[in-house]
Structure 1
Amino acid sequence: MDGFDFGSANDAQRNAITSTEGPLLVTAGPGTGKTFTLVKRVSYLVQEKHVDPSSILVATFTEKAAKELITRISNELAANGVEFDVNEMYVGTFHSICLRLIKEHIEYSNVRKNYRVADSFDQQYLVYQNYWSRFKSLEHFAELPKKTRVWDTCEQICSIANAMSEELVDVEEMLKSDDPITLAYAEVAEAYNEMLTEKNWLDFAHIQLEAYQLLAWHPNVLSEVHDQIKYVMVDEYQDTNYIQEQLTLLLSKKSHNVCVVGDDDQGLYRFRGATIRNILEFPDKFGDGDCVRIALTDNYRSDPGIVAFYNEWMERTAGPRFRFDWEGYRFEKTIYATRKGVDGAPAVVRIGDDEDYWCDTVCDFVLQLKKRGAIDDYNQIAFLFKSVKHRNARDLAERFEERGVSVYSPRSDVFFERGEVKLAIGVLLLLFPRYVQRLETGDFKYADETSIRYYVSCILKANELLKDEDNAALRKWIAATGRAHTTMAKNTDYAFSGLVYQLFEFEPFKSIIDTPLDTGVHDQRSVRNLSILVGITSKFEYLQRVDIFTAERIDATLERFFNTYLRFLMLGGIDEYEDETEYVPSGCVPFLTIHQSKGMEFPIVVVDSLYATPTKAGDEVLQGIKDRYGAREAYEPIDSIKYFDFWRLYYTAFSRAQDLLVLTHREGTRKIGKAFEEPYGELPTCNPDTFPFDKFAFHHVKESDLKPVYSFTSDISLYEGCSVQYKLFRELGFTPVRVGATLFGQLVHQTIEDVHRAALRGECDRITLENADDWLQSNYETLSTSQHAYLSKVVIDAAKRQVRRYIERRAGRWDDIVEAEVQIGLSKPDYIIHGTVDLIEGDDGTVDVVDFKSERKPDVNRDYELLETYRKQLLLYAHLIEEKTGRSVGKMKLYYTGEESGNPVITFSRDKRSIDAVAAEFDDVAHKIMRREYSCRATNARLCENCDFRYYCKN
């Protein structure tokens, strides 16, 4: 222990770092170094306890938090000379870890290969597509609480299904009830689950349910996982739901080496099924006294005045306005500030003004901070709202923009109001004159006035653009395309996304696509929104199986897209782009929800929404069903929950501030909430003319140090082919439409993977030609369903022959398979390399790397350039394997399953000089990407011909 570098860890943190055996609960108040402690704990396990990184699992709640953990853990280990393969350790969100467990043991799960992971919109839209055929006809459907719109009922069905999965509710037992409402909830959950199974889809709730059932129902899988994972850590444990708690306990059942970290006072996600009881009851899950509890209470973030304010907030529950007691439903604690306060300046102040002047008063304060040099960047001030869609947030954002200050508010649901989005939709509408005519007359079965008004405003905006003489080419294209759509005699070779890509040939869209990426997110907002728009159209085409416009279906397709799909998206709202590599963008004032700000910190925090009061939320009927049919009884007193959650929400908001906390209230029609009357009234008023700006030394916003992850196929080879294409598809996230035909190759590849997995399980007797045919047919069914693509019987038979040939050629040589479909990764100082190796085979300490190609063996001379790309890829994989395992790579092979009679293998020589050269080349390209050098265009004509951006680029 004496040799371990604890850094700046205090006594409580050291205790948490070194308490590695048995159950441990770490309660970590705001700013007490929770992530620092977790990272040091992992490092301690690896360095001092000599634990294999692959035996450690760390779960957290957001992708960004997971990437931060990976970055900090890899940096910590690298600083101490430990090479770290990011794919060895199970680090990620609960959902990503569950997906990994499913993939590793998919043959035991209830899902099949090629499943689709559905987001919340996919989930709701799928219910809508099946609403009348599967749900409306259910016997007790009328008993569900009434909703005004079908779309809202679909959302309700999804909420019911999610809750049943997350709470492990016994739906079969509910179906035995004689209560009509209980039966209604059970029937929709059962119908929903059947629909997901048929579609081979997983929503977020079912990802966890599948992983839980995989472990709970298959002792051999649980035993294998226990042999692998010896140490389990869960961050933000106060935000876990029931199934996440059960997964945590299952994963650590054998070793009991489980550490959960969190703050019960920051539990915010009850509306997503989270329950504070998991962290409060955690010690009770083990024998009396077996669980150690360590409290981190030394705050390194905030001014003492801020800490005192939010400590008092949690105690101020028995005043004249509100009287409630925590009744043991929180760990009593006091947070202690380690910083010194600012002499002669208050750390917590208020800004208030009446209805008409409030926006200007707040803006004046912010502008003065910048003008007086108290801050260097507007991103040092974060505004927190209960909802960024509220009038206060919208009015204030508008006033900031009017006064020349950019606002970063990606969750304000103004995507469809952005100028570039309205313009693109307006042009898209003009391409369909028949639809526009019907829009003018309202001749639709399904449409609403709000949508029609919106589309008319988009058309007016597009017409304004077309008046400009410089846009003659765009006018000509719109007219020609519109005529073609009006008199359609044959099918097109495009759908909506194809039209949007064609639109990028013209101004102002071309200039938007040209936006340089070395600016802030605000400057990139327009191009990012166009990328989101392409994603929206592509998703519609997938969900509705629309690849092209046909003469017979074009009118129905247009109605479905504009009157249903886009309307539902507008109802639900779309988040704009958030750059996870930046904490918040420079040059902008961030407007965030309180939930969104969780885990963040800012030098100055302005908290609005002081009009709010504790209110009941949620579906009380659903809660009653969970209490009756779930796996555990109710916990917190139902009448107190609204107070508990309200106090936790604002405690989280107040504790984000480092140097200055400002409470603000817009006086007028909405009075200040009763909970805030006393604390707000006791604060000094902040007057921009007299505020002691010079007393403060405001921190800068925390820099994000997330490492980017690069792979050879998705990054290096794409960038080398065309850096502009890389910028557009990888950096900006545009969805490719013209994807090459890969179904045949995937079919062969996945079936050979099944063969290898059987060999690795010791089931060589199952590797028969007949079984291979069955595996291939099963793979084809799931692939064709997921991709909406199909192969003829002749082509399927050709795929079967390729797999059969491989089995016959390899017969009797299954024992030399070391690993298959190996995920490998290596952390470099400023990025992470990632790759997937099809097959590793060998013995005697030397391994060979094999990559499969489902085609005939190419001509070595004619296809030299292609083979050179493959050689570099194999050399990179050899480099990663040697770095990871320390085992020498002997041969690197390309195996061509389409080769009928000759030798199907091309073998490349391997030498250290070649590996070092490719590793250096990879490193050079990775740093060019990091510097965002995107000026080199493709020289390969075929690459341009098949690129969606060929209209924009005209290379």
Structure 2
Amino acid sequence: MDDLPLNESEFVRRLEEANQERFDDPDWSFNDPQQRAILHDEGPLHVTAGPGSGKTEVLVSRTLKLLLVDSVPPGSILLTTFTEKAAQSLEERIVDRLDAIGFGDAVDANEIRVGTLHSLCNDIMQEYRYQDYANVELLDEDGQQLFMYRHCDFVDYISGSDLNGQWDTVPEAIDARDEDWRFFEELHGWQVHDQHGPNKWQATEITSKLFNRVSQYRASTNRLRRHKDRPWRACAEGLEKYRETLREQQRCDFARLLERFIEFIDTEAGQRFIHGESGRERPALQHVLVDEYQDTNPLQQELYFQVLEEMNRPNITVVGDDDQALYRFRGGTVECLIQFPKRLRERFGTFVESVQLRTNYRSTKDIISWCNRYIDNHPAMQVDGARAPGKQPMEVGRDGTENIESVRAILEGNSDAEPAAIAAELVDRMHDTGYIDDYSQVAYLFKSTKETDRWAGQFVTALRERGIPVHNPRNKAFLDQPEVEFALGAIIRALDPELDALQKRGIQGRVTGQIQDWYDGFDEYVDQHDATALDRYVDQIGTELRATEDESLGLNLLDLFYRILSFDPFLTWVESDDAPARGRRLGQLSKLFDAFASVSGRSTLTASSWANSVSTKFLADFYYLFCGYLHATDFDEPQDPHDQLPSGFVQVMTVHQAKGLEFPVVFTSDLDSEPWTFGGTYWIEEELAPYADISPLGGEDERSVRDEIRRFYVAYSRAQEDLLLLDQADTPTQLTLGYDDGTALTTDWFDGSRRINTPDDFLDHTTGSVGELHDVDLKRRYSITGDVLAYRRCKRQYGYYTDLDFAPNHVTQLFFGRVVHETLDRAHRHYAGELDGSTEGTMPTDDDIERYFREVAEALKTRNIYPMSEDAEQTALQYIQRFNRREGDRLYPRVIDTERRLQSNREEFVLEGVVDVLVGDDDGREIWDYKAGRRPDSGHELTDYSAQLKTYAELYRYARGSYPDRGVIYFLGEETRTDAMFELTFDDDTVQDSLADFERTVQQIQTDREAGNWFDITPADAPSEGTCAECDIRWSCPARPEYSLED
């Protein structure tokens, strides 16, 4: 292997040779703008990259250049992109290219920080043990909505309810503010009542949007508190209260996460992140690379700029395309990309190099010409500031497409049914004639994929009527699926058998109609599926309620859900491989129950003392908070993150879904589309501009028109071979067709061979095919504990929790392990002097340990993770204090790092793990793993623990080149040090044998996943009785028939 670093010419030569082999093209090379971007030296770089211009390849190659030419340590590079899938794709491409040019073993690319900005901020603050972020739960979208409904005072203000506490900006009397909700009518959905205003869930949605925009636009709440209009003053105070509530409840949402990270930058922990820690083998941050910068918001921009201010030089590369900015409705401001050179010069006083990637290697000449004409000639896009300065039209990068007509139209009839039928027949014929190899090479793109007549309904129906499979995960039909309706009906029937609590609690509003529908639907589904055993079980719950007044039923909501799933038809739906989507939907429903429990509490269900139901207090929460959220929200279907574009299905997508993708054949519809100005996106920009870090260009109508043009530009530019405009006759508008030399295009442009009235009009003018389907699957990630040992313990349980994504219920099992690991981590940080009030080199006392323990325990309880008992909690504290006294003075001075994440790229998967403690001194390196309980008697369990440490040893070797000298498994429950410590050494033979076992298990997992073979287990396969006794799905397990609930 040649020595590093490489010179630039050698680097480019090697990379081009690797890509020539990869693309099977001996003439493949980087074009000049690509080379300029890749080889850029230091300082800021601004790259505008049009569709199909090789943006990702350039970003990967620039990262490789930093590693191999500039000798930048991998851990000194921060690389952010828009989605987790895109982040993993970047990571795998970097590893692939390093291997291809012969440096896979010389550079550990796994140390590059790659991810979405939110995931990186969360991980970094946890990794550096930022005290203000310790034990914080990051809320997803569902969690944020549920938390806001329960805990946000401004929601009550908007919905006209009583307010908690003292407000500076709002009068106490409701009648003095009962019309304030009208001020925000631009944000009201169509369901908000004209006289009574928003209900609490509608108020939650309004509040979420307002708070997110105030944060994302960096609007000053201090200045907003002086706004002339009281509702904005209340919004500012409400956001400040909400931030305080999040901190008190140890929660954080995505917008506030970035605010917390900006605070983190100025702290001692943040400085360690940016400037490095040589003692912990963490290099300083040197380069930031940002993908999809066109959808950045001012809060994200400020975060990047503050990081740059702390670095030695503002080394940032931003890549994006202002013409493909789609996310204004989520706070994105395209001006962040358009004005990047100006803003960075003003902030840092330095030159910004700009490069435009304008050669499109994706599409035919005809498609590129259509896209260029559409975006370049539209008057709305010719306004100064609407596009990046000096932007040039895209050029054709493919040979042999000069004389091909690729842009055509199906414009027929006066209803969607007619063009839908022609398009479906054409797709059918394309497949039959071999023009397409697989249905997934065809995409239908819409503004909304709801299967209604207004949107995608007629087009999807026409495809299905021809037997063409359709993949449409964002049809917002999750709650309409029979398995979801039936499950909710069963839950309600069990909790409130006669809807007695619904009446006595006075539950009101539209949600009552939905609850009644689910309740009534239960009987219909029982009859339809002959579910008599389930019906009897639900009746049995009702009998128990009547017999156990004010007493516990001995189960919580998720317990009840899993028991219901043990009966048919649910059991068949989950465990049949004919329709895995049903199991995934029920898995998603379990996650929603879990999110509800996280906010409302995981208390055991008790019988009511005054209604024939469970506790009416619980049911009020369940009806208003949980059922209300379901009723108010359009849920997408769950997707397999590793198979988001399944082969064999026509892809029906929104344009936003299709961003970053390409398809041989694209149908795009909604050609009569008008810009969407409802929802308040543009109104909020206007209102907040004087108080925020935004400078929107033009009025609301102008901005909405430009956003719609960008949406169609993205839709048109997804096509590789064929772009077909699809709609009724005479529906296309100037907005959707664009202009040509100042004149609005009409549908006359398609007269002749470009107009398709029958499939033959297309097929008679095409030859050959679009080529074979090329699947690009991302590698799955496997860990020894979360995957291999979990699968070996019980593959059925593994299938439920990991493949179908069900939420585990028994969180009491989590408490003991979490409290031990997190308290000991604080003990290590105490000794390192990284906690407030601690001095470096000072041992924590028993009192210190108890204080840290209580902080961790209370944080876990805040998130509804409780110990099994007070005795169990006290036992955990005693274990930790004993460990601290016995091992602290020997161990803590030698600790290099704790909770060290490691990973290794294998040929078919990514191996990952977290080492509890990495120890080192002159005598060598050790890896330690804590076990919260006692040393097992079973040799089998010790073998598994040994395999765990050997896996970590392999990960360490992958990162550092050699195995650690020793491994220690420490059982905190043991009285003596001799019994507590299980030690092992590592050699190549034993580690590789263990790794071979690991890989064989991974192969078994992948085989079972492909076959859907999780559930066929026998009594001989059953894990230990203790494992089964705590298993959520034991009620229907063929290996443990004694748990069956059926008569």
SS in 1 for 2:664: strand
Residue 24 of structure 2 corresponds to: none
Residue 613 of structure 1 corresponds to: 674
Shift of 1:224: 4.1
Aligned mate of 2:663, from 599, 602, 606: 602
The verdict on how the C-alpha distance between 1:623 and 1:102 changes in structure 2, with shifts beyond 3 A counting, is same
Q: Deviations over 1:522-566 (max 9, x none)?
A: x42112112112222222233221433211243443454345522
Residue 1031 of structure 2 corresponds to: 947
Residue 922 of structure 1 corresponds to: 998
Counterpart contact for 1:853–1:894, Cα < 8 Å:
yes
Counterpart contact for 1:435–1:555, Cα < 8 Å:
no
Residue 283 of structure 2 is aligned to residue 261 of structure 1: no
Counterpart contact for 1:854–1:896, Cα < 8 Å:
yes
Give the Cα separation in 2 of the matches to 1:219 and 1:738: 37
The verdict on how the C-alpha distance between 1:666 and 1:42 changes in structure 2, with shifts beyond 3 A counting, is same
Q: Deviations over 1:818-844 (max 9, x none)?
A: 221111111112211111111121323
Pairs within 5 Å for 1:214-363: 214-215=264-265, 217-218=266-267, 221-222=270-271, 224-227=273-276, 228-253=284-309, 254=311, 255-284=313-342, 285-286=344-345, 290-318=351-379, 325-327=383-385, 329-331=387-389, 332-340=391-399, 346-354=405-413, 355=415, 356-363=417-424
Aligned mate of 1:743, from 815, 819, 824: 815
Identity %: 27
Residue 458 of structure 2 corresponds to: 395
The verdict on how the C-alpha distance between 1:243 and 1:134 changes in structure 2, with shifts beyond 3 A counting, is closer
Give the Cα separation in 1 of the matches to 2:285 and 2:773: 37
Residue 165 of structure 1 corresponds to: 215
Aligned mate of 2:123, from 77, 94, 100: 100
Give the Cα separation in 1 of the matches to 2:381 and 2:930: 69
The residue identity in structure 2 corresponding to 1:173 is R
Residue 118 of structure 1 corresponds to: 139
The verdict on how the C-alpha distance between 1:439 and 1:223 changes in structure 2, with shifts beyond 3 A counting, is closer
Pairs within 5 Å for 1:552-591: 552=608, 553-562=614-623, 564-591=625-652
Give the Cα separation in 2 of the matches to 1:809 and 1:317: 75
Give the Cα separation in 1 of the matches to 2:929 and 2:915: 7
Counterpart contact for 1:846–1:887, Cα < 8 Å:
no
Give the Cα separation in 2 of the matches to 1:367 and 1:45: 48
SS in 1 for 2:760: coil
Shift of 1:64: 0.9
Aligned mate of 2:555, from 471, 476, 494: 494
SS in 2 for 1:252: helix
Shift of 1:152: 1.6
The verdict on how the C-alpha distance between 1:655 and 1:560 changes in structure 2, with shifts beyond 3 A counting, is same
SS in 2 for 1:763: coil
Aligned mate of 2:745, from 678, 690, 696: 678
Residue 103 of structure 2 is aligned to residue 81 of structure 1: yes
Aligned mate of 1:6, from 5, 15, 26: 15
User: How many residues align structurally?
Assistant: 937
Shift of 1:270: 0.9
Shift of 1:219: 6.5
Counterpart contact for 2:386–2:697, Cα < 8 Å:
no
Counterpart contact for 2:843–2:889, Cα < 8 Å:
no
Q: Deviations over 1:129-181 (max 9, x none)?
A: 23669743254365342553221211111122212222222212322445423
Counterpart contact for 2:812–2:867, Cα < 8 Å:
no
The verdict on how the C-alpha distance between 1:930 and 1:330 changes in structure 2, with shifts beyond 3 A counting, is same
The verdict on how the C-alpha distance between 1:502 and 1:336 changes in structure 2, with shifts beyond 3 A counting, is same
Give the Cα separation in 1 of the matches to 2:85 and 2:677: 31
Residue 720 of structure 2 is aligned to residue 658 of structure 1: yes
Counterpart contact for 1:610–1:673, Cα < 8 Å:
no
SS in 2 for 1:832: strand
The verdict on how the C-alpha distance between 1:536 and 1:448 changes in structure 2, with shifts beyond 3 A counting, is closer
Counterpart contact for 2:328–2:681, Cα < 8 Å:
no
Give the Cα separation in 1 of the matches to 2:566 and 2:816: 33
Aligned mate of 2:483, from 420, 428, 434: 420
Residue 482 of structure 2 is aligned to residue 406 of structure 1: no
The verdict on how the C-alpha distance between 1:780 and 1:276 changes in structure 2, with shifts beyond 3 A counting, is same
The verdict on how the C-alpha distance between 1:131 and 1:886 changes in structure 2, with shifts beyond 3 A counting, is closer
SS in 1 for 2:673: coil
Residue 806 of structure 1 corresponds to: 883
Q: Deviations over 1:775-831 (max 9, x none)?
A: 222112212212342576655544443333333223543332222111111111221
SS in 2 for 1:720: helix
Q: Tell me: higher relative CO, structure 1 or 2? Use CA pairs within 8 A at least 6 residues apart.
A: 1
The verdict on how the C-alpha distance between 1:333 and 1:551 changes in structure 2, with shifts beyond 3 A counting, is same
Q: Deviations over 1:430-477 (max 9, x none)?
A: 4356345788999743454651563266335313325x4xx4433433
Pairs within 5 Å for 1:2-81: 2-4=9-11, 5-7=14-16, 8-79=29-100, 80-81=102-103
Aligned mate of 1:628, from 682, 685, 690: 690
Counterpart contact for 2:843–2:888, Cα < 8 Å:
no
The residue identity in structure 2 corresponding to 1:407 is V
The verdict on how the C-alpha distance between 1:171 and 1:795 changes in structure 2, with shifts beyond 3 A counting, is same
Larger mean Cα displacement after TM superposition, 896-905 or 446-455: 446-455
Counterpart contact for 1:58–1:90, Cα < 8 Å:
yes
Give the Cα separation in 1 of the matches to 2:699 and 2:716: 26
Q: Deviations over 1:687-719 (max 9, x none)?
A: 313323642521445422311111111001011
Q: Deviations over 1:843-898 (max 9, x none)?
A: 23721111112334x26xx3322111111111111121122112442221122233
Counterpart contact for 1:157–1:189, Cα < 8 Å:
no
Give the Cα separation in 2 of the matches to 1:288 and 1:894: 54
SS in 1 for 2:761: coil
The residue identity in structure 1 corresponding to 2:393 is T
Pairs within 5 Å for 1:444-523: 444-448=507-511, 450-452=513-515, 454-455=517-518, 458-465=521-528, 468=530, 471-489=531-549, 490-516=551-577, 523=579
Give the Cα separation in 2 of the matches to 1:749 and 1:931: 34
Give the Cα separation in 2 of the matches to 1:675 and 1:595: 17
Residue 741 of structure 2 corresponds to: none
Residue 855 of structure 2 is aligned to residue 778 of structure 1: yes
SS in 2 for 1:690: helix
SS in 1 for 2:15: coil
SS in 1 for 2:964: strand
Query: TM-score scaled by structure 2?
Result: 0.84
Q: Alignment RMSD, CA only? A: 2.8
Give the Cα separation in 2 of the matches to 1:376 and 1:441: 61
Aligned mate of 1:174, from 224, 227, 236: 224
Residue 494 of structure 2 corresponds to: 431
- Structure 2 gaps of 5+ residues are 1-7, 17-28, 158-162, 171-176, 193-197, 277-283, 609-613, 738-743, 834-838, 1040-1047
Give the Cα separation in 2 of the matches to 1:293 and 1:202: 36
Residue 259 of structure 2 corresponds to: 209
Q: Deviations over 1:291-347 (max 9, x none)?
A: 1111111111111111100100012324xxx79635554342211112245587520
Residue 709 of structure 1 corresponds to: 781
Shift of 1:220: 6.5
Larger mean Cα displacement after TM superposition, 26-35 or 324-333: 324-333
Give the Cα separation in 1 of the matches to 2:224 and 2:432: 64
Q: Deviations over 1:39-90 (max 9, x none)?
A: 1222222222222111111000111111111111122223323246565211
Query: TM-score scaled by structure 1?
Result: 0.92
The residue identity in structure 1 corresponding to 2:433 is R
Aligned mate of 2:600, from 536, 544, 547: 544
Give the Cα separation in 1 of the matches to 2:603 and 2:875: 26
Counterpart contact for 2:553–2:605, Cα < 8 Å:
yes
Give the Cα separation in 2 of the matches to 1:411 and 1:838: 40
- Structure 1 gaps of 5+ residues are none
